[in-house]
Structure 1
Amino acid sequence: MPLAAHGDTAGMLYFEGPDGGLEMIAARVYIELIAENLGLAIANLQLRDRLANLAVKHPLTGLLNRRSLDENLNRLSREATDLPAALMMIDIDHIKP
C-alpha cells in the first residue's frame, strides 16, 4: 500500500499474512487505514521540517536570518560556561529593515 498524502507518495507499507480467507479481507481494511494515517503523519512531519527551515533562512539567498541568530544566542546562553565570549556584528549590505 502506498503511504500517500497531499498528492505525494512518502513510502510503501507492505503486509504479508496467511493466504486467502476472510481474515485477510478484513485485515485489508485496517491496513488501508493504517497506511492512510502513516502517510498523513509523514507528510505533516515533512511540512513541519520545511516550515522550521523557512523560519530561520532567507527565502531568496538561503542565508540564516535574525531568528536563527536569536535561537543560537539563546542556546549558547543556556550552555554558558565561565569562558569569556565576544560577539561582533557587521552590516555588509547597508539594508535596513
Structure 2
Amino acid sequence: MLVTRTEADIDASDAELLTLMGSDAANAILRTVTEPMTVKEIHQFAEIPLSTAYREVNRLADANLLDERVRLDPNRGKHVAQYVRTFDTIEIKMTDDGVVVQLLS
C-alpha cells in the first residue's frame, strides 16, 4: 500500500495523520501492534493507560493506520476486536513539491 500526498492535497485527515505521529502514545501503539492485539493487550505491551489506549486506537483506526479484525474468543464465546498496523514503514518528507507522506507495506 502506498499513499502519497503533496502540499496541494493536504486536508484535515492528513493534518490528523501528522498530529498522530507527534503523539507518544500513538507511536507506542504503532510500534507495538506488529501482530493483531486487543486494546487491553496494547495497553499492557505499550505501557500506556487503558483509557489512552482506547482513545488512541480509535484515532489511529479512523486514520486508517490500524486495521480492526474481529475474532471469536473460544473461552468466552464472544467476539473480540483486535488491531494491527496497516503499514510497515511511514515516511514523511519535505520536498520542493511540498509534504510527501508515504505508507509502505
Q: Same fold (TM over 0.5)?
A: no
Whichever of the two has the greater Rg, that structure is: 1
TM-score normalised per structure 2: 0.19
**Which of the two has greater helix per residue?**
1
**Which of the two has greater strand per residue?**
2
Larger RCO, structure (CA 8 Å, separation 6 or more): 2
